[in-house]
Chains A and B, each alone.
Chain A
Amino acid sequence: MTKMIATRDAYGEALIEIGKDNENVVVLDADLSKSTKTHGFGQEFPNRFINVGIAEQNLIGTAAGLAAAGKIPFASTFAMFATGRAFEVIRNSVGYPKLNVKICATHSGITVGEDGASHQALEDISCMRTIPNMTVIVPADGVETKAAIHAISKMEGPVYVRLGRLAVPTINDEASYEFKIGKGVTLKEGTDVTIIATGLMVSEALEAAKELETKGINARVINIHTIKPLDNEIVIKAAKETGAIVTAEEHNIIGGLGSAVAEVISESYPVLLKRVGTKDTFGESGKPADLMKKYELTKDNIIDAVVDVVKKKQ
């Protein structure tokens, strides 16, 4: 059976690992440390853990000051408040001076569930990728999360990491998985169409591809964990070799992965594209699985989109 783990849990574990490796790592949280899983780091390294209280602007501003003084701050809260409430602080105090701040936000997307629309960040990828100097990473599972956190701790510059609340299937093998910032991963070869997915939609994409085989459609599956800088090469190659693309993300179809892919292919090699994601709408309260279905974020929605573009391609 597939192991289920939330990316936020993997984040919490990774923080302790990098905290042991590098004493410059400092973790900040805004009163959500038990939910974002930074709590463990706080217990392990109390003198390198700063709870700023319910004050997200100051969370980022303080992190910027720590980075300016040579520390490697990891700042965490929910994605909504990190990228929404503190947007302009991120832009002016982190992005503009290119400071080494790692914003690792949890509870992104509609799978926040019962807390409802006010807490479901569906525009955070869009907000973060529009800031110059910002790297944007959306891990698909726990293994990728850990690898990403280790990688960004060694890289100089601002990063946004989008993490989730919900336990998701582990699709990568911890022993063999290699993570490279900015490099997409081909999880399954295919010739008829390419599904480009990110975050928890990667496992949905794999399921969809499996089912599509039974319908006679041979779909390639690419995991784009780094939305910015985007792996243009892998996207253009997919456009050329398969002639149609479906993107899948737990995010508004405006401004996220779908938009990023559209930008690249429309300038380099236009092919048919269909975007699976939320359709410029707010979410609502409910169980994550029910919300995924209602807001058309399941493998079935990917399948429908694939069937549609493949038909149009012919």
Chain B
Amino acid sequence: MGKSIQELKQIANDIRKDIIEMLAESGSGHPGGSLSATDILTVLYFNEMNVDPNNSKWEDRDRFVLSKGHAAPVLYATLAKKGFFPKEELMKLRKIDAMLQGHPDMKGTPGVDMSTGSLGQGFSASCGMAMAAKIDKKDYRVYTLLGDGELQEGLVWEAAMLAAHYKLDNLTAIIDYNGLQIDGKTDEVLSVNPVTDKFKAFGWNVMEMDGHSIEEIIESIAKAKEIKDAPTVIVAKTIKGKGVSFMEDKAEWHGNAPKEDQKVQALKELGGEI
């Protein structure tokens, strides 16, 4: 809270560097979808959400569910930067006995609100959390981030129906719309379009934003909070691999870790120390 746009941009850049370093160290993981979601997570954790890194299970906290669980590196780097756990943990990502699993594990990692990794399930769980807040008459909010490819999962639409039916206006879903999935362009593998019309037809308040404009992200999330009696989905136009030229808009960087020379190149572009 209270951070300037410039400061938030700096934080996002730092998180991107951490993502590159941790993935290069682990030798496996998902850079593309982590880098496309970095600005969104930066705004959520450093400008919007009411969370306490010293009390990660605080019951009145805002919740965040990374439904596209494979983007775990961006969540881990963000949580570490926020102070939920020491940054050193990042370099143990995906290694045996490490706290940071390949996909988020709520039991093992402070700050992770839901275990995810199997697509669609996090979105469904976020509906349950929002329902719990309604039942308990609490005013915390629930945020969830989905991939555009994830929308191909049937469970997403089961959950979308539920959220609208029960008027979960305390739920904001953000679609990290980078247009790519493992096998190629989302439009070519199995089109999810028209995404906005689909959600409108399902009874959601629908917004669109540039998922890399800190200003637009702040504004959109604030607007979503004003909507009553309907959940909001914000379709965020993003670029997979954002910030690293050779990764940008390339499906092959969905689940490939950078090699040493690629790491050096990526950090150079991001202004990292070599």
Instruction: List CB contacts (< 8 Å) of A25-72 with chain B.
Output: 26, 47-48, 50, 52-53, 55, 57-58, 60-71
Question: What are 22 residue pairs bridging A and B, where the CB atoms are less than 8 Å apart in the complex?
Answer: A26-B132, A52-B158, A53-B158, A53-B162, A57-B155, A57-B158, A58-B124, A60-B124, A61-B120, A61-B123, A64-B124, A65-B65, A65-B129, A65-B131, A66-B129, A68-B113, A68-B125, A70-B136, A89-B118, A92-B121, A93-B115, A93-B121
Q: Quick check: is B218 within 8 A (CB to CB) of the other chain?
A: no
Do the beta carbons of A71 and B161 come within 8 Å of each other? no
- Main secondary structure, interface of B, reads helix
Q: Quick check: is B200 within 8 A (CB to CB) of the other chain?
A: no
Do the beta carbons of B121 and A61 come within 8 Å of each other? yes
Q: Which of B63, B114, B120, B129 contacts A97 (CB 8 A)?
A: B114
Contacts of B113 in A (CB 8 A): 68
Do the beta carbons of A66 and B107 come within 8 Å of each other? no
Do the beta carbons of B59 and A70 come within 8 Å of each other? yes
Q: Quick check: is B166 within 8 A (CB to CB) of the other chain?
A: yes
Q: Give Cα A71 to B106, complex, Å.
A: 16
Contacts of A70 in B (CB 8 A): 59, 132, 136
Q: Give Cα A73 to B129, complex, Å.
A: 12
Do the beta carbons of A57 and B135 come within 8 Å of each other? no
Shortest distance between the CB of B132 and any CB in chain A (Å): 3
Q: Quick check: is B173 within 8 A (CB to CB) of the other chain?
A: no
Q: Quick check: is B79 within 8 A (CB to CB) of the other chain?
A: no
Do the beta carbons of A62 and B120 come within 8 Å of each other? no
Do the beta carbons of B120 and A57 come within 8 Å of each other? yes
Q: Which of A55, A58, A69, A93 contacts B132 (CB 8 A)?
A: A69
Q: Give Cα A126 to B6, complex, Å.
A: 56
Q: Give Cα A63 to B124, complex, Å.
A: 9
Contacts of B127 in A (CB 8 A): 58, 61-62, 65
Of all chain A residues, the one with the shortest Cβ separation from B104 is A97
Q: Would A58 and B63 be within 8 Å (CB), given that A50-B131, A71-B135, A92-B115 are in contact?
A: no
Do the beta carbons of B131 and A62 come within 8 Å of each other? yes
Q: Give Cα A97 to B123, complex, Å.
A: 16
Q: Give Cα A71 to B125, complex, Å.
A: 13
Do the beta carbons of A89 and B114 come within 8 Å of each other? no
Shortest distance between the CB of A289 and any CB in chain B (Å): 37
Q: Quick check: is B128 within 8 A (CB to CB) of the other chain?
A: yes
Of all chain B residues, the one with the shortest Cβ separation from A92 is B118
Do the beta carbons of B135 and A48 come within 8 Å of each other? yes
Do the beta carbons of A65 and B132 come within 8 Å of each other? yes
Q: Quick check: is A98 within 8 A (CB to CB) of the other chain?
A: yes
Of all chain B residues, the one with the shortest Cβ separation from A71 is B132
Q: Give Cα A97 to B112, complex, Å.
A: 11
A-B CB pair tally, cutoff 8 Å: 108
Contacts of A97 in B (CB 8 A): 105-107, 114-115
Shortest distance between the CB of B116 and any CB in chain A (Å): 8
Give the 7 A-B residue pairs with the shortest CB-CB distance, closest first. A65-B128, A61-B124, A69-B132, A65-B125, A58-B158, A55-B158, A62-B128
Q: Quick check: is B13 within 8 A (CB to CB) of the other chain?
A: no
Contacts of B135 in A (CB 8 A): 26, 47-48, 71
Q: Give Cα A52 to B135, complex, Å.
A: 15
Q: How large is the interface on A (under 10, 10 to 19, 20 to 34, 35 or more residues)?
A: 20 to 34
**A residues adjacent to B (C-beta < 8 A):** 26, 47-48, 50, 52-53, 55, 57-58, 60-71, 73, 88-89, 92-93, 96-98
Q: Give Cα A55 to B128, complex, Å.
A: 14
Q: Tell which of A52, A67, A70 has the most Cβ of chain B within 10 Å.
A: A52
Q: How large is the interface on B (under 10, 10 to 19, 20 to 34, 35 or more residues)?
A: 20 to 34
B196-213 vs A, Cβ < 8 Å mask (1 yes, 0 no): 000000000000000000
Contacts of A26 in B (CB 8 A): 132, 135
Contacts of B264 in A (CB 8 A): none
Contacts of B130 in A (CB 8 A): 65
Shortest distance between the CB of B254 and any CB in chain A (Å): 20
Do the beta carbons of B158 and A68 come within 8 Å of each other? no
Of all chain A residues, the one with the shortest Cβ separation from B161 is A53
Q: Quick check: is B159 within 8 A (CB to CB) of the other chain?
A: yes
Q: Quick check: is B126 within 8 A (CB to CB) of the other chain?
A: yes
Q: Would A68 and B129 be within 8 Å (CB), given that A52-B158, A53-B161, A62-B159 are in contact?
A: yes
Do the beta carbons of A67 and B128 come within 8 Å of each other? yes
Do the beta carbons of A52 and B125 come within 8 Å of each other? no
Q: Give Cα A121 to B159, complex, Å.
A: 25
Do the beta carbons of A61 and B125 come within 8 Å of each other? yes
Q: Tell which of A57, A60, A69 has the most Cβ of chain B within 10 Å.
A: A69
Contacts of B159 in A (CB 8 A): 58, 61-62
Of all chain A residues, the one with the shortest Cβ separation from B153 is A57
Sample of 16 more A-B contacts, CB < 8 Å, known A53-B165, A97-B105 = A50-B131, A50-B166, A55-B158, A58-B158, A61-B121, A61-B127, A61-B128, A62-B127, A62-B162, A65-B127, A65-B131, A67-B128, A68-B114, A69-B59, A69-B128, A93-B115
